[in-house]
Each structure stands twice: as structure tokens, then as C-alpha cells.
């Protein structure tokens, strides 16, 4: 049995998660990774979110208990509300109004459990002129200005997979909102509704950019600023073997280390304070880095303060010595380990994602349903 001294940070919290895709499950994964008990309500017969592959390899669904519940069946809503009455939180990621139409909206749920933290994950938010329209990560980061600011000058903006919107501005902000709400509920005895919108979270991630704009230190011109590829000492360079490396020598002392490693002097490369020297400086650095394969630059620069790293594929990243030393990824199957880490509370890798309905009976028994009720739910197909 876990004791408080040996338990993960969120051990003892129970969250009801209505299954979805993308940022909602990612928030659930973050909470499960920290030890929360996540009971995932799934449709009977559901498979992996994409309908392809082994559901056990859906890492976003790891660490859950699975209840297969037909929410359209008579009595299903009451069953869900009884579970919610004994929970600390709820996570849902439907379009605004869907949970209300099901009879499981926040007003109904908080009436049953006024300490409940009700987390809602959407792209556009619960209200606003386009709140009811469909969208995906690319649309959300486009509307917040984040997409416009990403990419090379004079080319269409490039997008960072769906990491910036779905998972950064969405799932992580929902997880943060849930923990914040749960802390407030523990202190005040009152729950709350968390409206986590990807557009809100993505805009918040751009606070530094807007701060620099307000100070007159940012130009709304792509690849014209210190952190968007506008300077030659912060960027990606080609290597002789087709690989790439990154240089991030923003501070003068790190720039000095880079020049020393490359056998260059500021006099021959140019003054960083003079933007007129930057095109020639970039061309010179590009020619130097293109003259040798990536591993040459790794051997020369990796253990220095030149602010350097090679661009690794996902497979290479798993095998990198630093990542292996820190145990960033698990073995067989390879997946990211829980993050962040704590000095006292353990955060081991949770169990694999369960088959939908794997814990249906267990969840109902633990929630206090009678054996007669449970058998009736299984007979009429409400639960599978």
C-alpha cells in the first residue's frame, strides 16, 4: 500500500474523463502520470482514437481505468452522475453544449458535487462568434498569430506539428487548470469550471513575444528577430552529410566560445551589433558547417558552451547519451517518461492503455453500485 511519503504527487485524486482525442487525453495523461486515478468513460466497442494500431500503444491513454458506457442508454446518465458525485474532477472535450444536451453539463454535475472541478477542452472556447465551428490545431495557432510568426522569411509559415496548439496551448493548460482548480477546491471546499481553450493557451504562450512588441523590440516580419531565425547566431545549419545542427549562441560569452571552437575571430566574421554584417556572417557560417558531416560538429561542439545541439530524428533522440542517462524515454515500447520529476514523490511509468471496458465492473463495484445494479447494466447493454 502506498503511504503519503511514497505516493506520486496526485495520488488520491479521482478524475472522470470522457474519452476524446488529442489535447484532452494528453491532459489526462499528465494527471495520470502524476498519480491521479483517471476513470475513462468510453463508448462500447471503441478502439484507438485513429481506429488503427494497437490500443495498448496509445500512450496518451496510459494509466487509466476504462469504463465502457453507452451514454444513450436509459440510466446511463444517472450512472455517470453517481460516479461524478464521488470524483474530484471531470475532463471533457466535446463541442460547447454537447455535455449539456447529454444531461452532464457542469451545472448538473456541480449540483451533485459542489467540490467538483469540471475541465472543458475546446479549440475556440465555450463562447465567442466561432465557438461552435469545427477546427484543428493549425486553425487555432493561425488565429492567435503564432503560426504567422513561425517559419522562414518570404515563404508560407511552417507549423511545429500539433505541439504548439493541441498539446502546449491546449492539453497542458487544461492540466494546469485542473490542478489549480483542485488546489482551490481543497482550500475552499468549492469546485469550479475550467474553460481551457487552445486559442487562449496559445496566446498565453506568446506573452514574451507580445512583451517585446510592446517594448519596441519585436518586428512583425518573419525571420527578423533574435528568436525566429533573424540572426545568424540562432538558427539551423546544413551539414555535409545532409544532417542539420542548431546554434543558439545568443549571449556574447557563448558566441565567443563558438568562434574560438571554429577558429574564427570577430574581426574576420563581423560585428554582431551591425545588422549589415549579418548576411555575410550567415553565409560564412553556413559554408563552414556545410563543409563537414554532422558528427564532426557534435564531436567539436557538444561538450562546450557554444549553445549547440544536433537535429536528431525521434529514433536518434531515444538513443542519445544525455537522454538515456536521464531516462527520458522508456524501453519497449519506447515512450516519453512522466515529466516533470520530483525529488521525493515517485512518478513511475503508468500502466499501458487498457482495452475499452477493461475495468467496467471494477469501477462500478468501487463506486458502491450493488451487484444487482451492475448485472442489470451489463444485461441491457448500458455497460460492457
Amino acid 51: pLDDT: 62
136 is an active site residue: yes
Whether residue 9 has pLDDT greater than 60: yes
Amino acid 203: pLDDT: 98
Amino acid 53: pLDDT: 78
Amino acid 154: pLDDT: 87
Q: Give the model confidence (pLDDT) of 20-52 as tens digits.
A: 999 999 999 999 999 999 999 999 977 655 567
What share of the chain in percent tops pLDDT 90? 92
- pLDDT confidence bin for 5, thresholds 50/70/90: low
Q: Give the model confidence (pLDDT) of 318-369 as tens digits.
A: 999 999 999 999 998 999 999 999 999 999 999 999 999 999 999 999 999 9
What share of the chain in percent tops pLDDT 70? 97
Which of 136, 210, 322, 351 is catalytic? The answer is 136
Handedness of CA 55, 57, 58, 63 (dihedral sign): positive
Amino acid 47: pLDDT: 64
- What does the alpha-carbon distance between residue 213 and residue 144 come to, in Å, rounded to a whole number? 15
Average pLDDT over residues 240-267: 97
- What does the alpha-carbon distance between residue 46 and residue 5 come to, in Å, rounded to a whole number? 38
- What does the alpha-carbon distance between residue 57 and residue 54 come to, in Å, rounded to a whole number? 5
In angstroms, the first-to-last Cα distance of the chain is 29
Of the candidates 142, 197, 146, which has an alpha carbon nearest to the alpha carbon of residue 173? 197
- What does the alpha-carbon distance between residue 384 and residue 278 come to, in Å, rounded to a whole number? 65
Which of 166, 195, 200, 228 is catalytic? The answer is 166
Helices of type H across the chain: 23-33, 76-85, 98-102, 106-112, 137-143, 172-188, 198-205, 207-214, 252-262, 266-269, 278-289, 294-301, 314-319, 321-326, 360-366, 371-379
166 is an active site residue: yes
Q: Give the model confidence (pLDDT) of 110-167 as tens digits.
A: 999 999 999 999 999 999 999 999 999 999 999 999 999 898 888 999 989 999 999 9
Dmax over CA atoms of the chain, in Å, equals: 85
Average pLDDT over residues 40-68: 86
Give me the domains of the chain, ranges plus CATH numbers.
14-205+336-379 (3.40.50.10540), 234-326 (3.30.1540.10)
Whether residue 104 has pLDDT greater than 60: yes
Amino acid at each position: 500500500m502506498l503511504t503519503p511519503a511514497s505516493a506520486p504527487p496526485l495520488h488520491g485524486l479521482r478524475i472522470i474523463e470522457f474519452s476524446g482525442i488529442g489535447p484532452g487525453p494528453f491532459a489526462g495523461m499528465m494527471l495520470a502520470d502524476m498519480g491521479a486515478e483517471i476513470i475513462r468513460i468510453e463508448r462500447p466497442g471503441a478502439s484507438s482514437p485513429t481506429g488503427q494500431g494497437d490500443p495498448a500503444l496509445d500512450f496518451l491513454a496510459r494509466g487509466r481505468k476504462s469504463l465502457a458506457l453507452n451514454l444513450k442508454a436509459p440510466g446511463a446518465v444517472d450512472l455517470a452522475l453517481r460516479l461524478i458525485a464521488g470524483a474530484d474532477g471531470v475532463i471533457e472535450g466535446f463541442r460547447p453544449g454537447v455535455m449539456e444536451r447529454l444531461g452532464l453539463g457542469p451545472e448538473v454535475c456541480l449540483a451533485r458535487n459542489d467540490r467538483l472541478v469540471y475541465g472543458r477542452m475546446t479549440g475556440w472556447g465555450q463562447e465567442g462568434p466561432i465557438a461552435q465551428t469545427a477546427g484543428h490545431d493549425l486553425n487555432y495557432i493561425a488565429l492567435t498569430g503564432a503560426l504567422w510568426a513561425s517559419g522562414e522569411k518570404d515563404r508560407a509559415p511552417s507549423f511545429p506539428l500539433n505541439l504548439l496548439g493541441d498539446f502546449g496551448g491546449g492539453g497542458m493548460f487544461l492540466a494546469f487548470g485542473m490542478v489549480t482548480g483542485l488546489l482551490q477546491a481543497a482550500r475552499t471546499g468549492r469546485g469550479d469550471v475550467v474553460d481551457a481553450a487552445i486559442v487562449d493557451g496559445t496566446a498565453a504562450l506568446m506573452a514574451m513575444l507580445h512583451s517585446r512588441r510592446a517594448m519596441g523590440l519585436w518586428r512583425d516580419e518573419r525571420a527578423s528577430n533574435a528568436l525566429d531565425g533573424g540572426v545568424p547566431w540562432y538558427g539551423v545549419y546544413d551539414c555535409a552529410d545532409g544532417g542539420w545542427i542548431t546554434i543558439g549562441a545568443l549571449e556574447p560569452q557563448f558566441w565567443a566560445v563558438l568562434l574560438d571552437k571554429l577558429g574564427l575571430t570577430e574581426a574576420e566574421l563581423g560585428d554582431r551589433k551591425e545588422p549589415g554584417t549579418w548576411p555575410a556572417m550567415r553565409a560564412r557560417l553556413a559554408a563552414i558547417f556545410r563543409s563537414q558531416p554532422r558528427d564532426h560538429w557534435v564531436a567539436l561542439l557538444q561538450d562546450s558552451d557554444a549553445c549547440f545541439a544536433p537535429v536528431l530524428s525521434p529514433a536518434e533522440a531515444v538513443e542519445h547519451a544525455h537522454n538515456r542517462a536521464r531516462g527520458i524515454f522508456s524501453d519497449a515500447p519506447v515512450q516519453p517518461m512522466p515529466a516533470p520529476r520530483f525529488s521525493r514523490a515517485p512518478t513511475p511509468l503508468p500502466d499501458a492503455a487498457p482495452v475499452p471496458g477493461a475495468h467496467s465492473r471494477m469501477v462500478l463495484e468501487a463506486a458502491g453500485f450493488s451487484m444487482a445494479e451492475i448485472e442489470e447494466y451489463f444485461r441491457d447493454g448500458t455497460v460492457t
